[in-house]
Amino acid sequence: MILEILAFVGVVVGFVFLVLAIASGLYYISELVEEHTEPTKRFLRRLIQSIIVIFALLWLVDGLPFLLTAFSIFSYYVYLLNLHRFPYVQLSSPIFLVSCCLVVANHFFWFNHFHNPTIPPLEVRLKPGYNPPKIPSFTEICAFFGLLVWFVPFALFVSLSASDNIIPHHIEATDGKKKNNGLAKVVVATVRERIYAISRKLGYELDPHHGSLM
């Protein structure tokens, strides 16, 4: 019984530390991108173009479904449109909102494709010389989702900056000039401020700069 409780506590603590590590990584990457905006824009543009080519090759060589492949290529074209005003983004912009919907749709459609592979009818499978379709391995599916479904949306989320009229109290000034305010950094900072507010209501004072108890 006690061992089960310890296991539950260990899972919760591990999850909390994992979330904190991801938040810290997002914050650091956002800071890094803010200092190298133009190289980041060129990298994202070439990355999107390369992935479009990879999707076309997967359709030609590996026989991925044409409609799904065309949908993903269209999605990456929409992602590319986000770079026109890079690094700034309006959260109410139609292109940004459509991009968010396409990320979810891409994940759902490809997950459904790999989770429910098409199996030919029995009469087809009994024909001489029949070659069964290749079922991708778990590693191949993970690589597909990581590199072709999630990587670019994640990179765009980290790289894009909130415009001046979004959460204005997060806009920083350096030498009289406004600094690019990373979208990921805004989200992390907002969540952090909410945690500080909740901790103060519970009677704990956290140093907002160091996160330590006061």
Higher pLDDT, 79 or 183: 79
- Give the residue carrying structure tokens 């968010």: 100
Count CA atoms within 13 Å of residue 34 on its CB side.
Answer: 19
Note whether 125 and 132 are within 8 A (CB).
Answer: yes
Residue 178 — very low, low, confident or very high, per pLDDT cuts 50/70/90?
Answer: very low
Higher pLDDT, 197 or 38: 38
Distance CA 211, CA 209 (A): 6
- Reply yes or no on whether the pLDDT at 34 is more than 70: yes
What is the reported pLDDT for 74?
96
* pLDDT tens digits, 54-95: 999 999 998 899 999 999 999 999 999 988 878 777 778 899
- Reply yes or no on whether the pLDDT at 26 is more than 60: yes
Higher pLDDT, 140 or 120: 140
Domain range annotation of the chain:
1-35+160-214
Distance CA 43, CA 95 (A): 20
173: β partners: 178
What is the reported pLDDT for 199?
67
Note whether 102 and 75 are within 8 A (CB).
Answer: yes
162: β partners: 89, 181
Output phi, psi for 130, to 5 deg: -70, 130
What percent of the chain lies above the pLDDT cut of 90? Answer: 29
- Going by C-alpha positions, the residue among 31, 109, 39 that lies closest to residue 74 is 109
- Reply yes or no on whether the pLDDT at 112 is more than 80: yes
What is the reported pLDDT for 27?
72
Tokens at 139, concatenated: 């590693």
Provide the whole-model pTM.
0.69
